[in-house]
């Protein structure tokens, strides 16, 4: 069907595409599998007693995961601190010195977020204290 | 990083955490796309059209597999790596669809200029993908974030829209100048590829966008985008069976066997008890064995037909050689090179010479029909004056027309009739239609006309014969077709004349058709583009 004279040109087109695919694959492989050059976001630990946390109302079985902060870390730092799994890794929920790009965001009512209730005020019972005395 | 809230998949993409429907929809479609792509490629590995279809099938399969991995895998590195190629898959699919349609319509490879345009359009995607396509990964939701910069969002969707318009314009332009048979093929291919492009680009991106802005509850409607390839494949199948596109000779039989095996095999998904499993297994094996034998038989029959055609062609060539040698000898004898011969012998020699000449013509006709059928005919296109040829052939046939007492006339409108084409073959077209009109008209008139259009010339031959029966009208240009009326007048007709004429006209990018009325006669029309031959 096709003219035989254009056979080499067809190959030229194919080779350019294949070469481009190989280059993109190699760079992507290096970026994602070796260098882990990307940001990772996740729900970090948050203590509603002392911090304003985001609340996950769907999850009412696990108190720990119900309240969370929004963490974002550079993947190589996270790999260094926690390996590939952040569960049971304390460093995952804080920005440690040396982290290249790290942020921890708390809930903000003014931004329209649904947040945990503010920590209850410390109530001092003078009578009780005196009784103890 | 692992998405800690989701279960680990088996073999990259199998997990209980996603709806089973996802596998039942994506995996069979991928298998069908790959199977048809490979099948078409293996039918004729050297055909560029077949290769391009395979490339589109592979790209589509990469797309479905990558979506499955994105849905099911929990490793951020793997998901990001796979997701990274989405833009490339979309861009390449768009460009390959344009390339595919171009080759289908023009029956030739794209020019270097066009290929450079294709590569230029793809370049931004290839250059930017490894660095700017994806920024990060949310391991709580197991989803990439900020994965589509505005540039990518606009660019690859724009490429899809460009492909739709480009393909549409190519189809319309070709449709307008094609003859009926190819028009049908263009309609089928156009419907298939445009449905695929629409569902693949517009549907998937639109539903995704609407779900993102909250107009749709979720992005599940996006999944229907993959069915575009099935529509495309169905139309490809019709083209293969009806028009032998892609040169897939045993396609019908193989598809039948494949469908039967798939149908029986699918029973394993819902058969749970042992006796049913055994029965299904036996049915599957028996069908497989019978199917393989059926395909072998069809293949043998096709090979036998091809072998017969080749042998016939070889014998015909040999016969032509013998005819030519004998004709040469007789011609030398007639012109007196062997000395004076008696008048009786001269008469016999002339009769033999005429007979040889007719024999050579018959053989030539047969060989030409074979060349047209196999697509091996070569046209030597050069500019020439069609008006001079029409006038010459009209004059050549005048004695025959006068002998039958016809009103024999010619009308040529003013204008330039220089066209680009193979003069020898087009002379044959001009001559054949006048010859047919004289041969099959008993009395009345014959009118030859030539007129000029903007980019083409229109040649017509009108006779006052008996007309063509309704039954014959359908097969008028078919090989070995003998019209009911023409057979009464000329029983020795080969049935190849109009088949060859049509082949030559179409080979020059022209059109041929006729208008007929019972008892009043027939007019044959030939429209030839001034630019000339498409095939060299």
Q: How far apart are CA B402 and CA B46, in angstroms?
A: 54
Which residues on chain A are in Cβ contact (under 8 Å) with B138?
40-42
Q: What is the dihedral of CA B174, B176, B182, B185, to 10 degrees?
A: 80
Structure confidence at residue B535 (pLDDT): 43
Q: Do B136 and A39 touch (CB under 8 A)?
A: yes
For residue A133, being part of any structural domain is answered with no
The more confident residue out of B381 and A76 is A76
Q: Do B145 and A1 touch (CB under 8 A)?
A: no
The more confident residue out of A9 and B394 is B394
Q: How far apart are CA B345 and CA B266, in angstroms?
A: 80
Q: How far apart are CA A74 and CA A100, in angstroms?
A: 7
In the numeric block, the tokens 């250059």 are attached to B127
> Which residue from B80, B108, B138 is facing A42, i.e. has the nearest CB?
B138
Mean pLDDT over all residues of chain B? Answer: 82
CB B291 within 8 A of CB B257: yes
* A12 in B contact zone (CB under 8 Å): yes
Mutation choice for B interface testing from A14, A42, A59 by most B CBs within 10 A:
A42
Q: Dihedrals φ, ψ of B2, to 5°?
A: -105, 140
In this prediction the ipTM stands at: 0.79
Task: Answer whether residue A5 shows pLDDT above 50.
Answer: no
Q: Do B145 and A86 touch (CB under 8 A)?
A: no
For residue A116, being part of any structural domain is answered with yes
The contacts of residue B364 (CB under 8 Å, 6+ apart) are B320
Query: How would residue A64 be classed by pLDDT, with cut points 50, 70 and 90?
Result: low
Q: Are residues A29 and A43 in the same domain?
A: no
Task: Answer whether residue A130 shows pLDDT above 50.
Answer: no
Task: Answer whether residue A93 shows pLDDT above 90.
Answer: no
Structure confidence at residue B366 (pLDDT): 75
pLDDT, tens only, B167-203: 999 999 988 887 777 888 899 999 999 999 998 888 8
Structure confidence at residue A1 (pLDDT): 43
Q: Are residues A116 and A61 in the same domain?
A: yes
> How many angstroms separate the first and last alpha carbons of chain A?
105
**Three-state SS for B18?**
coil
For residue A26, being part of any structural domain is answered with yes
Q: What is the mean pLDDT of residues B108-122?
A: 91
| Residue ranges in B44-107 assigned as alpha helix (H) | 48-72, 76-83, 86-106
Q: Are residues A76 and A100 in the same domain?
A: yes
Structure confidence at residue B224 (pLDDT): 76
pLDDT, tens only, B29-42: 888 888 888 888 88
Task: Answer whether residue B412 shows pLDDT above 80.
Answer: yes
For residue A85, being part of any structural domain is answered with yes
Structure confidence at residue B280 (pLDDT): 78
Q: Are residues A47 and A94 in the same domain?
A: yes
> Which residue from A7, A33, A78 is facing B81, i.e. has the nearest CB?
A33
Q: Are residues A14 and A56 in the same domain?
A: no
The contacts of residue B493 (CB under 8 Å, 6+ apart) are B482, B486, B487
Q: Are residues A80 and A18 in the same domain?
A: no
Share of chain A above pLDDT 70, in %: 73
Task: Answer whether residue B79 shows pLDDT above 70.
Answer: yes
Query: How would residue B490 be classed by pLDDT, with cut points 50, 70 and 90?
Result: low
> How many angstroms away from the CA of A119 is the closest CA of chain B?
26
CB A24 within 8 A of CB A42: no
Task: Answer whether residue B247 shows pLDDT above 80.
Answer: no
Structure confidence at residue A59 (pLDDT): 55
Q: How far apart are CA A101 and CA A94, in angstroms?
A: 12
Q: Are residues A53 and A72 in the same domain?
A: yes
Q: How far apart are CA B261 and CA A79, in angstroms?
A: 49
Q: What is the mean pLDDT of residues B218-230?
A: 76
Q: How far apart are CA B258 and CA B264, in angstroms?
A: 10
Query: A16-30, A74-88, B318-332, B403-417: which range is least confident on average?
Result: B318-332
> How many angstroms away from the CA of B127 is the closest CA of chain A?
8
CB B474 within 8 A of CB B401: no
Structure confidence at residue B532 (pLDDT): 57
Q: Are residues A10 and A71 in the same domain?
A: no
Task: Answer whether residue A10 shows pLDDT above 70.
Answer: no
* B134 in A contact zone (CB under 8 Å): yes
Structure confidence at residue A126 (pLDDT): 47
For residue A131, being part of any structural domain is answered with no
Structure confidence at residue B360 (pLDDT): 76
Task: Answer whether residue B267 shows pLDDT above 70.
Answer: no
CB B160 within 8 A of CB B173: no
Q: Dihedrals φ, ψ of B468, to 5°?
A: -110, 135
> How many structural domains does chain A have?
2
Q: What is the mean pLDDT of residues B477-481?
A: 77
Q: Are residues A29 and A44 in the same domain?
A: no
Structure confidence at residue B52 (pLDDT): 92
Q: Are residues A25 and A49 in the same domain?
A: no
The more confident residue out of A53 and B371 is A53
Q: Are residues A71 and A98 in the same domain?
A: yes
DSSP state letters, B405-416: T-EEEEEE-SS-
Structure confidence at residue B168 (pLDDT): 95
For residue A128, being part of any structural domain is answered with no
* Residue A85 structural domain: 38-120
Structure confidence at residue A90 (pLDDT): 84
| Count of pairs with CB atoms under 8 A, one residue in A, one in B | 103
Q: Are residues A58 and A29 in the same domain?
A: no
Q: What is the mean pLDDT of residues B78-86?
A: 89
For residue A129, being part of any structural domain is answered with no
> What pTM was computed for the model?
0.62
Question: Measured at the alpha carbon of residue A46, what is the angle toward residues A42 and A48, in degrees to the nearest 5?
Answer: 145
For residue A43, being part of any structural domain is answered with yes
Task: Answer whether residue B146 shows pLDDT above 60.
Answer: yes
Q: How far apart are CA B101 and CA B81, in angstroms?
A: 31
Q: Do B1 and A86 touch (CB under 8 A)?
A: yes
């Amino acid at each position: 069907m096709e003219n035989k004279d254009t056979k080499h040109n067809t190959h030229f087109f194919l080779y350019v595409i294949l070469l481009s695919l190989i280059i993109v694959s190699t760079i992507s492989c290096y970026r994602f599998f070796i260098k882990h050059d990307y940001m990772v976001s996740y729900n970090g630990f948050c203590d509603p007693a002392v911090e304003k946390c985001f609340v996950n109302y769907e999850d009412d079985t696990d108190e720990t995961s119900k309240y969370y902060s929004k963490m974002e870390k550079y993947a190589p730092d996270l790999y260094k601190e926690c390996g590939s799994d952040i569960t049971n890794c304390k460093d995952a929920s804080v920005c440690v010195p040396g982290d290249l790009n790290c942020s921890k965001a708390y809930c903000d009512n003014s931004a329209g977020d649904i947040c945990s209730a503010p920590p209850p005020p410390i109530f001092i019972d003078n009578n009780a204290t005196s009784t103890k005395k | 990083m692992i998405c800690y809230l989701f279960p680990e998949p088996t073999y990259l993409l199998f997990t209980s955490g996603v709806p089973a429907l996802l596998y039942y929809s994506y995996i069979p479609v991928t298998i069908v796309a790959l199977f048809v792509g490979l099948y078409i490629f293996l039918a004729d590995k050297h055909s560029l059209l077949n290769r391009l279809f395979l490339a589109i099938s592979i790209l589509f399969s990469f797309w479905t597999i990558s979506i499955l991995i994105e849905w099911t895998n929990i490793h951020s590195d793997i998901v990001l790596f796979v997701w990274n190629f989405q833009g490339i898959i979309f861009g390449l699919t768009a460009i390959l669809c344009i390339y595919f349609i171009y080759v289908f319509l023009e029956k030739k490879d794209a020019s270097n200029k066009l290929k450079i345009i294709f590569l230029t359009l793809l370049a931004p995607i290839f250059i930017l993908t490894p660095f700017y396509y994806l920024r990060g990964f949310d391991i709580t939701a197991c989803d990439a974030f900020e994965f589509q910069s505005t540039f990518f969002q606009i660019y690859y969707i724009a490429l899809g829209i460009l492909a739709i318009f480009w393909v549409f314009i190519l189809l319309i332009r070709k449709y307008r100048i094609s003859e009926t048979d190819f028009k049908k093929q263009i309609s089928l291919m156009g419907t298939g590829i445009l449905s695929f492009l629409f569902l693949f680009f517009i549907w998937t991106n639109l539903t995704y966008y609407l779900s993102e802005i909250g107009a749709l509850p979720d992005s599940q409607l996006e999944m229907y985008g993959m069915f575009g390839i099935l529509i495309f494949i169905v139309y490809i199948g019709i083209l293969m069976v009806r028009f032998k596109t892609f040169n897939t000779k045993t396609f019908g039989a193989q598809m039948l066997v494949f469908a039967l095996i798939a149908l029986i095999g699918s029973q394993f998904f819902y058969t749970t008890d042992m006796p049913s499993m055994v029965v299904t297994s036996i049915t599957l094996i028996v069908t497989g064995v019978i199917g393989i034998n059926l395909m072998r038989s069809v293949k043998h029959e096709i090979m036998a037909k091809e072998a017969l055609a080749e042998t016939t062609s070889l014998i015909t060539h040999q016969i032509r050689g013998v005819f030519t040698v004998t004709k040469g000898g007789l011609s030398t004898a007639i012109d007196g090179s062997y000395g004076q011969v008696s008048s009786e012998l001269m008469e016999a020699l002339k009769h033999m010479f005429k007979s040889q000449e007719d024999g050579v013509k018959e053989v030539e006709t047969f060989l030409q029909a074979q060349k047209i059928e196999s697509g091996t005919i070569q046209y030597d296109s050069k500019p020439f004056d069609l008006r001079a040829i029409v006038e010459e052939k009209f004059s050549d046939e005048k004695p025959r027309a006068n002998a039958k007492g016809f009103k024999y006339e010619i009308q040529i409108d003013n204008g330039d009739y220089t066209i680009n084409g193979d003069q020898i073959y087009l002379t044959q077209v001009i001559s054949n239609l006048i010859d047919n009109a004289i041969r099959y008209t008993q009395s009345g008139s014959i009118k030859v006309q030539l007129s000029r259009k903007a980019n083409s010339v229109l040649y017509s031959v009108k006779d006052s014969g008996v007309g063509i029966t309704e039954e014959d009208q359908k097969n008028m240009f078919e090989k070995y077709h003998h019209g009911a009326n023409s057979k009464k007048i000329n029983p020795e007709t080969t049935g190849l004349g109009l088949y060859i004429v049509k082949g030559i006209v179409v080979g020059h990018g022209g059109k041929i058709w006729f208008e007929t009325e019972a008892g009043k006669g027939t007019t044959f029309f030939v429209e030839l583009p001034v630019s000339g031959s498409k095939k060299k």
